[in-house]
Structure formats: structure tokens, C-alpha cells
Amino acid sequence: MFLEYVDILTRLPKLLDEVSAENEGASMPDAAQLDQIEDLSKRISKIIGLLPDALYRSAAIDPRHPAALEEMTKDLVKLLERSKPLLLVSFQPLKLCYSF
């Protein structure tokens, strides 16, 4: 899980920067990049769900565990929020055409 955390924090910001730099003015990001962003974003949700169990320890016993949990969760949520707009781009609404 900690290796997944490091992998996500290393790869996702670079990928998001690449997509935003390459697609300035373009209507749609590259499909392969969107797939990678989606995969990493799904992994973020899983890690956020696992972190409390992995780092559960009373602050009275060891204050580092709750601090690490808070910091790691905060970093992951920021990345997830940053990737959300790109994930929504891939789900374009259908245009309905009415002929009367």
C-alpha cells in the first residue's frame, strides 16, 4: 500500500501536467493518458480506504500515526480533485437531435 501511495504521488502529478500542457486548446485529452489517470484515481480511492486501518494507533501512544494518516489522505484527496475535471471530459453528454 505504501508503494502504491508513492507510485501515485510520483506518476499522477507528472501525467496531469503533461495532459494540461499538451492539450491547451485541444478539445479532448489523449485516451491512453485518460485511462492512466482513471486507473490511478481509482487506486487513490482504495488507498484512502485502507490507510486508517494501516495507520491506526492512538495519538497518546504514537502521535506520528494520526499525523501521517492526515497528511497522506490530504495529499491523495488533492490529487483526486485535480484529476476530476479530466475524468469528466471523457464522459461527454449525448446531444439529442429532434426533428419536427
Please determine, for residue 28, whether its predicted confidence score (pLDDT) is greater than 70. no
- As a whole number, the mean pLDDT across the chain is 81
Fill in the amino acid letter for 38: E
Fill in the amino acid letter for 68: A
Q: Check residue 94 and report its DSSP letter.
A: P
Grid coordinates belonging to 77: 484527496
Domain chopping of the chain, boundaries:
35-85
Grid coordinates belonging to 95: 446531444
Each residue's pLDDT tens digit, 52-88: 888 887 767 878 888 889 999 999 999 999 988 766 5
Whether the pTM exceeds 0.75: the reply is: no
Give residues with Cβ within 8 angstroms of 31, minimum separation 6: 90
User: Once rounded to an integer, what is the mean pLDDT over residues 27-55?
Assistant: 86
